[in-house]
């Protein structure tokens, strides 16, 4: 048979890529705004017609492009922002994939006008469905203007999928506000069908928030500032008495990029605990600065989630920073009566009796022994023996026979109060067989016959839970635990619609809904695998995953749900695991159908064989 594989022509590849990058007009706005910011613009203007369906135009006064760059910008993987793979770990720009302009030009009529500082005259390029229609010289100021008309003109299915103008405009405003909040030092404006929606002058953060959310906002804001080694936090939370019935004004930015994180959101709720009226949510505008190396840069262009190296510590720092601010600004009782749960008896040990503490004696300790002594082992001994007199102590016992008292080893036979050296209060027998250990609170390291195995704890646990969930949803209904009091949670009407769609599958995993009303739900039973306090994060994460997922990319609802739940429920990196927990994960991982990758196809573990090690020592 003749060969059948061919490379896809560029315009087809671009159209496929566009499906990922451009979901709706708001995605185009986000990409164009980010390009303008990357080009160091100080004034950015957005003009839209019919919720962006007819036209979107973004004009900036940034660096602009040369004639050649203007043409190159529309090639796929054409970017000025990174040159080598290493650059990915020190990323300071919003873009880096070089995909946005190519994707947008594949599914719309695009006109680009641009001029850089050196250029005497500007360039104007027209592209329709990846095809360059014209490239001419034109008169324009320094900067760039991109106009995108008739979005999805060549993909009717996608065009039909767009929601009403009101809904699409809402999405655009959301994107616009997120970018504007991340960059108060840039002047932004937004016009829709000829009328001005926002005019935001260059200012500071407090004023930017006030300009967007209205004059009264200023007095509601409490500053939050915290500098630690792993994160710098700045921004504001709203005073508890101004908490809202909806979650609208909640913003996290990481390195100036808007993100959604139900997990970190929970940290804020925890900080506000006891200060809020029932079914209200605090507003917050929090800016986290972290080392770009400590986050996963491979953020999907349309997604707003991010993976941190140490989410667990971040949670704790954020919670205490917010709590501290609320206390300091007298909006919360200053005294904190919260118990420190790390001082509580671990659950597993609750019913075990304490053991009599033992006196710790180092049997090998010999204060008279020289450094080179044979009774080796403890560092303490070496330390003391350095100070021991240089003269041989044996000479003091010259009358005693050599074999009776010839060296340090003999001392071991002297009875000491306790044979076992143990300082632990609890019986730790189960933990004795240590074949695993934890590295950096992130990896589980285990030995194999042929080498060592390093497992990413979060990914491994996600894989385990994912397979379990899939089984529960598709085959057997899971068991659920009845809640003593039904849990009432507030959601927006959009979210309720989504929850209704997911209700059946959620019930298969163990959720029991006692009410699904217009703006709240009531849950009377939850899966046994989770605790009541996790329910809200879990559902929020689920909704945000469904909101983010491109609707026609072939993933079934069940699969997405299993993925989302597994990911939220899995142990986070940064969590300390005891030996039993580590081994539990290892054993269950290798009982999975596909232990080597997590549900998003990323590696769960790596191995290092003795052969490979040997090579390193050559
Ligand atoms: P990315 O932003 O990932 O690099 P894009 O497709 O969005 O990819 O843009 C491709 C390139 O075009 C950018 O790397 C940049 O060099 C140039 N570019 C795009 N928009 C602008 C702009 N508004 N001003 C100056 N240069 C731009
Ligand atoms: Mg870009």
At 298, is the pLDDT very low, low, confident or very high (cuts 50, 70, 90)? low
Task: Answer whether residue 513 is part of any domain.
Answer: yes
Task: Answer whether residue 436 is part of any domain.
Answer: no
Q: How far apart are CA 62 and CA 142, in angstroms?
A: 7
Do residue 142 and residue 227 come from a single domain? no
**Is the CB of 96 inside a 6 Å radius of any atom of ligand 1?**
yes
Task: Answer whether residue 429 is part of any domain.
Answer: no
Domain range spanning residue 196?
A: 10-200
* pLDDT per position as a tens digit, 153-183: 998 888 888 888 888 998 999 999 999 999 9
pTM above 0.75, yes or no: no
| Contact (CB, 8 A) for 253 and 286 | yes
3-state helix, strand, coil in the chain (%, to 5): 35, 20, 40
Task: Answer whether residue 34 is part of any domain.
Answer: yes
Do residue 91 and residue 150 come from a single domain? yes
User: What's the 276 CA to ligand 2 centre distance in angstroms?
Assistant: 40
Work out the angle between the directed axes of helices 579-589 and 457-474 (0-180°, nearest 10).
50
* pLDDT per position as a tens digit, 491-524: 877 788 888 888 888 888 889 999 988 888 999 9
* pLDDT per position as a tens digit, 87-122: 777 778 888 888 899 999 999 999 999 999 999 999
User: What's the 83 CA to ligand 2 centre distance in angstroms?
Assistant: 15
**Is the CB of 14 inside a 6 Å radius of any atom of ligand 1?**
no
The residue among 347 and 365 whose pLDDT is bigger is 365
The residue among 616 and 247 whose pLDDT is bigger is 616
Q: How far apart are CA 599 and CA 607, in angstroms?
A: 20
CATH number for 96: 3.30.565.10
Do residue 540 and residue 525 come from a single domain? yes
For 331, other C-beta atoms within 10 Å of its C-beta total: 16
Boundary (domain end) residue, out of 200, 215, 233 = 200
Where b means 16+ CB within 10 Å and e means fewer, 67-85 reads beebbebbebeebbebeee
Do residue 227 and residue 166 come from a single domain? no
Give the tokens for residue 55. 């036209």
Stretch 64-68: mean pLDDT = 95
The residue among 590 and 247 whose pLDDT is bigger is 590
User: What's the 85 CA to ligand 1 centre distance in angstroms?
Assistant: 18
Task: Answer whether residue 350 is part of any domain.
Answer: no
Do residue 518 and residue 493 come from a single domain? yes
Q: How far apart are CA 582 and CA 587, in angstroms?
A: 9
User: What's the 43 CA to ligand 2 centre distance in angstroms?
Assistant: 17
Ligand having the closest approach to the CA of 75: 1
Ligand having the closest approach to the CA of 103: 1
Q: How many residues does the chain have?
A: 618
Report which ligand 1 atom has the smallest distance to the Cα of 104: 6
pLDDT beyond 80 at 55: yes
CATH number for 228: 3.30.230.10
Report which ligand 1 atom has the smallest distance to the Cα of 74: 6
Do residue 242 and residue 278 come from a single domain? yes
Do residue 209 and residue 196 come from a single domain? no
* pLDDT per position as a tens digit, 18-41: 777 898 999 999 999 999 999 999
Across 81-211, the runs of DSSP E, i.e. the strands, are 109-115, 122-128, 131-138, 143-149, 187-192, 195-200
Do residue 168 and residue 248 come from a single domain? no
pLDDT beyond 80 at 275: yes
Stretch 288-316: mean pLDDT = 81
Task: Answer whether residue 224 is part of any domain.
Answer: yes
Do residue 153 and residue 258 come from a single domain? no
Task: Answer whether residue 459 is part of any domain.
Answer: yes
Per-residue model confidence (pLDDT) at position 80: 85
Mean pLDDT of the chain: 81
CATH number for 596: 3.30.1370.100
At 320, is the pLDDT very low, low, confident or very high (cuts 50, 70, 90)? very high
* pLDDT per position as a tens digit, 588-601: 999 898 899 998 88
User: What's the 78 CA to ligand 2 centre distance in angstroms?
Assistant: 10
How many structural domains does the chain have?
A: 3
Do residue 75 and residue 126 come from a single domain? yes
* pLDDT per position as a tens digit, 361-413: 666 666 665 544 444 444 344 344 344 444 444 444 444 444 444 444 444 44
Do residue 171 and residue 221 come from a single domain? no
Boundary (domain end) residue, out of 176, 200, 224 = 200
Q: How far apart are CA 386 and CA 372, in angstroms?
A: 10
Do residue 477 and residue 600 come from a single domain? yes
Report which ligand 1 atom has the smallest distance to the Cα of 31: 7
Can you tell me whether residue 256 is helix, strand or coil? coil
**Is the CB of 100 inside a 6 Å radius of any atom of ligand 1?**
yes
| Contact (CB, 8 A) for 162 and 170 | no
- Give the ranges where 221-356 is alpha helix by DSSP (H): 262-271, 311-328
**Closest residue (by CA) to atom 19 of ligand 1?**
35
Per-residue model confidence (pLDDT) at position 401: 46
Q: Which one, of 48, 353, 39, lies nearest residue 171 by Cα?
A: 48
Boundary (domain end) residue, out of 152, 167, 200 = 200
Report which ligand 1 atom has the smallest distance to the Cα of 78: 10
Task: Answer whether residue 388 is part of any domain.
Answer: no
């Amino acid at each position: 048979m003749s060969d059948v594989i061919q490379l896809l022509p560029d315009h087809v590849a671009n159209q496929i890529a566009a499906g990922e990058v451009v979901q709706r007009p708001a995605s185009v706005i986000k990409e164009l705004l980010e390009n303008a910011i990357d080009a160091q613009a100080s004034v950015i203007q957005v003009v839209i017609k019919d919720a962006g369906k007819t036209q979107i135009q973004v004009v900036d006064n940034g660096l602009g492009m040369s004639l050649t760059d203007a043409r190159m910008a529309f090639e796929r993987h054409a970017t000025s922002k990174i040159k080598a793979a290493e650059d990915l770990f020190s990323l300071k720009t919003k873009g880096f994939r070089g995909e946005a302009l190519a994707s947008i030009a594949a599914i719309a009529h695009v006109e680009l006008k641009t001029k850089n500082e050196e250029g005497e005259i500007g360039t104007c390029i027209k592209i329709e469905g990846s095809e360059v229609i014209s490239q001419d010289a034109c008169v324009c100021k320094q900067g760039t203007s991109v106009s995108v008309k008739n979005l999805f003109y060549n993909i009717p299915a996608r065009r039909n999928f767009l929601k009403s103008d009101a809904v699409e405009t809402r999405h655009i405003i959301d994107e616009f506000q997120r970018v504007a909040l991340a960059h108060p030092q840039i002047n932004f404006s937004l016009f829709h069908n000829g009328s001005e929606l926002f005019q935001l002058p260059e200012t500071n953060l407090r004023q930017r928030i006030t300009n967007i959310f209205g004059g009264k906002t200023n007095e509601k804001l409490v500053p939050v500032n915290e500098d630690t080694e792993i994160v710098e936090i700045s921004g504001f939370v709203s005073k508890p008495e101004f908490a809202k019935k909806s979650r609208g004004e909640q913003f996290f930015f990481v390195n100036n990029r808007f993100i959604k994180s139900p997990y970190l959101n929970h940290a804020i709720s925890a900080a506000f605990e006891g200060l809020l009226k029932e079914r209200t949510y605090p507003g917050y505008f929090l800016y986290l600065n972290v080392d770009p190396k400590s986050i996963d840069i491979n953020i999907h262009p349309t997604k707003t989630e991010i993976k941190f190296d140490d989410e667990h510590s971040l949670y704790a720092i954020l919670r205490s920073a917010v709590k501290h601010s609320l206390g300091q600004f007298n909006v919360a009782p200053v005294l904190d009566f919260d118990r420190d749960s790390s001082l509580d008896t671990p659950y597993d040990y609750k019913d075990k009796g304490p053991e009599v503490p033992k006196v710790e004696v180092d049997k090998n300790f010999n204060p008279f022994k020289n450094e080179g002594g044979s009774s080796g082992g403890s560092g303490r001994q070496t330390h003391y023996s350095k100070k021991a007199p240089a003269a041989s102590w044996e000479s003091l016992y010259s009358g005693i026979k050599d074999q009776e008292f010839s060296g340090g080893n003999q001392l071991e036979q002297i009875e000491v109060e306790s044979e076992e050296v143990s300082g632990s209060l609890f019986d730790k027998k189960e933990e004795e067989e240590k074949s695993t250990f934890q590295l950096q609170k992130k990896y589980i390291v285990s030995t194999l016959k042929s080498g060592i195995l390093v497992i990413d704890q979060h990914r491994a646990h996600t894989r385990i839970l994912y397979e379990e969930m899939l089984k529960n949803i598709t085959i057997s209904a899971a068991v659920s635990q009845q809640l003593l009091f039904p849990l009432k949670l507030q959601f927006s009407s959009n979210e309720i619609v989504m929850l209704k769609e997911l209700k059946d599958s959620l019930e298969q995993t163990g959720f029991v809904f006692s009410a699904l009303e217009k703006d709240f739900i009531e849950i009377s039973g939850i899966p046994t695998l989770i605790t009541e306090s996790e329910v809200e994060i879990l559902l929020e994460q689920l909704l945000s995953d469904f909101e983010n997922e491109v609707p026609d990319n072939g993933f079934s609802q069940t699969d997405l749900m299993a993925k989302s739940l597994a990911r939220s429920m899995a142990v986070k990196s940064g969590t300390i695991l005891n030996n039993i927990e580590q081994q539990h994960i290892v054993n269950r991982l290798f009982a999975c159908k596909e232990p080597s990758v997590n549900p998003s196809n990323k590696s769960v573990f790596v191995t290092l064989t003795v052969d490979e090690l040997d090579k390193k020592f050559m």
